[in-house]
Chain A
Amino acid sequence: GESVGLHLPTLSVQEGDNSIINCAYSNSASDYFIWYKQESGKGPQFIIDIRSNMDKRQGQRVTVLLNKTVKHLSLQIAATQPGDSAVYFCAENGKTSYDKVIFGPGTSLSVIP
């Protein structure tokens, strides 16, 4: 069935280092892939998205890479800061509807000062 999953449930990085969070997906029909950040006690916050016809997109300190051949998505965070500590979810729009997002189980990122 449809699923979006993550390779690693937790990730610890030193402040200032770059972080890479990986995600595997199984639905080849999705148009969009999205990364959300969720801090404790808050709802998910949109970070960046990428359309299926692209392989790379950059934002402020973040880069998303999409490899459709192996159905892999990654989020790179440059110069990781303590404020980046959160749970990160990859997500995709569902094949049965253009208008909803399916979330994966999440990766917890801890930044060590």
Chain B
Amino acid sequence: DTGVSQNPRHKITKRGQNVTFRCDPISEHNRLYWYRQTLGQGPEFLTYFQNEAQLEKSRLLSDRFSAERPKGSFSTLEIQRTEQGDSAMYLCASSLILGRPYGYTFGSGTRLTVV
């Protein structure tokens, strides 16, 4: 296991289209987080899962956003009817409950460009 994997690395889509991103966390990690990062800013929390349960969602996660982790392993983040303001880097991270609680392992992200 080489870390957290995110696909695709880059996505260009037209405004109004739907997009879906995938995150494969480190296999033994039971927590999975989604963040969004715009240029020059720190990552902003979107949502997180413990196993398959989605435990918290940010107010940033509008009705157009949905995240799933159906079997407690990989996760998907879908954005419906994309808007130009959705252009950002979408980061996934995973961690263990035990150990350093904030020692997240991040993936390299999916860069979304909405044109």
Contacts and interface: CB of A to CB of B under 8 A. Distances in A.
B48 A46 contact: no
Interface string B37-59: 00011111100101000011000
Interface in A25-67: 32, 34, 41-46, 49
A26 to B, nearest CB: 15
A49 B107 contact: no
Interface residues of A, number: 24
Interface in B57-115: 91, 93, 100-109
B26 interface: no
Contacts of B107: 43
Interface residues of B, number: 26
A97 B56 contact: yes
Given A49-B103, A93-B102, A100 B48 contact: yes
Contacts, number: 62
B48 A103 contact: no
Interface of A: 4, 32, 34, 41-46, 49, 89, 91, 93-94, 97-106
30 contacts: A32-B102, A34-B102, A42-B109, A43-B91, A43-B93, A43-B106, A43-B107, A43-B108, A44-B43, A44-B104, A45-B106, A46-B104, A46-B105, A49-B102, A49-B103, A93-B102, A97-B56, A98-B101, A99-B31, A99-B48, A99-B50, A99-B56, A99-B101, A100-B33, A100-B45, A101-B104, A103-B35, A103-B42, A103-B44, A106-B40
